[in-house]
C-alpha cells in the first residue's frame, strides 16, 4: 500500500508520503475535524505520514450524521482505517480524540491485531474518571452557548455568528453527547508506550493525566505544556517535538 490517498473520506492526509515508515493517525476534539492537524507534517520527521481522521458531520462530511455513541464510532472508524494499518502506526488524540484512539487500540487488541507503536493522549483524564460527568449536550441553546464560551475552544467570531452557529451546533452537541455518555469498561492495561500531555492552565490537572499510567504496562511519560485546554493549537512549537522525539525512540520516526 502506498501513501493515503486524499480522497479517502475518513482520512484527510494533506501531505501523502508513500515512502513513510510510520503513519500517525490523529483524532479530533469535540466540534473539530481533521483540519486542526493540517500542518503537522511540516514539523514531524520526514518518514512520518500524518493521517488526520475526518469523522462524519464535519468538513467534507458535513452532511453526514455524526455518531453519538462511542462504541459505534470506534468500530466504524477502525473498519475504515484497517486498510492503512499495513505499516507501523501510532495514535494521537486530544480530549474526545484521546478516548477514540484509546478505545480503537483496545479494540485492536481484542481482535488480536497489530497495536500502535505509541499512543499519545492529550487533554483528557485517564480512565476511569472518578468524578461524575456533567451532561451539557442537552442544555437549552443559551446555556449551551455559555458553556462553549467557558471552554474557550470556539472562536468568538464563530460564537457571535448566529447563522454559522446554527450549522455547527448539532455537531458540537453530538460530540458532547458522544463523550459525555462514554462508559469505560475495565480491561487489562495495554502493553505499548503511552504519553499523556496536558496544558498547565487546563482544568484537566496533572494528577488526572497521571491516571493514564494505569492503562499501560509499557513505558509511560507525562508532559505538561503552557496553555489551556486548547494548548495544541497555541503551543505546537513545543508539542510536535515531543511527538517527534517519542516516535524516534521506536526507531521509526528518523
Catalytic residue positions?
95
Backbone φ and ψ of 48, nearest 5°: -105, 125
195/213 Cα distance (integer angstroms): 9
219/2 Cα distance (integer angstroms): 30
137/149 Cα distance (integer angstroms): 14
5/55 Cα distance (integer angstroms): 16
H or E stretch at 51: strand 48-52
196/224 Cα distance (integer angstroms): 9
135/176 Cα distance (integer angstroms): 8
Amino acid at each position: 500500500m502506498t501513501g493515503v490517498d486524499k480522497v479517502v473520506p475518513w482520512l484527510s492526509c494533506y501531505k501523502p508520503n508513500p515512502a513513510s515508515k510510520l503513519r500517525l493517525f490523529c483524532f479530533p476534539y469535540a466540534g473539530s475535524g481533521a483540519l486542526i492537524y493540517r500542518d503537522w507534517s511540516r514539523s514531524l520527521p520526514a518518514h512520518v505520514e500524518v493521517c488526520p481522521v475526518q469523522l462524519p458531520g464535519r468538513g467534507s462530511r458535513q452532511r453526514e450524521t455524526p455518531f453519538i455513541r462511542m462504541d459505534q464510532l470506534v468500530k466504524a472508524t477502525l473498519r475504515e482505517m484497517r486498510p492503512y494499518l499495513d505499516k507501523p502506526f501510532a495514535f494521537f488524540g486530544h480530549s474526545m480524540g484521546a478516548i477514540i484512539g484509546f478505545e480503537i487500540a483496545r479494540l485492536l487488541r481484542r481482535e488480536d491485531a497489530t497495536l500502535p507503536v505509541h499512543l499519545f493522549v492529550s487533554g483528557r483524564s485517564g480512565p476511569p474518571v472518578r468524578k461524575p460527568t456533567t451532561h451539557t449536550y442537552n442544555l437549552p441553546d443559551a446555556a449551551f452557548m455559555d458553556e462553549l464560551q467557558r471552554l474557550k475552544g470556539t472562536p468568538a467570531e464563530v460564537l457571535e455568528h448566529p447563522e454559522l452557529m446554527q450549522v455547527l451546533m448539532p455537531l458540537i452537541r453530538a460530540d458532547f453527547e458522544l463523550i459525555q455518555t462514554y462508559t469505560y469498561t475495565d480491561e487489562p492495561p495495554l502493553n505499548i508506550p503511552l504519553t499523556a500531555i496536558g496544558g498547565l492552565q487546563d482544568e484537566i490537572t496533572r494528577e488526572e493525566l497521571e491516571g493514564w499510567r494505569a492503562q499501560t504496562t509499557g513505558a509511560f511519560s507525562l508532559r505538561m505544556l503552557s496553555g489551556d485546554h486548547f494548548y495544541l493549537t497555541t503551543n505546537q512549537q513545543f508539542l510536535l517535538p515531543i511527538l517527534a522525539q517519542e516516535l524516534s525512540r521506536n526507531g521509526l520516526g528518523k
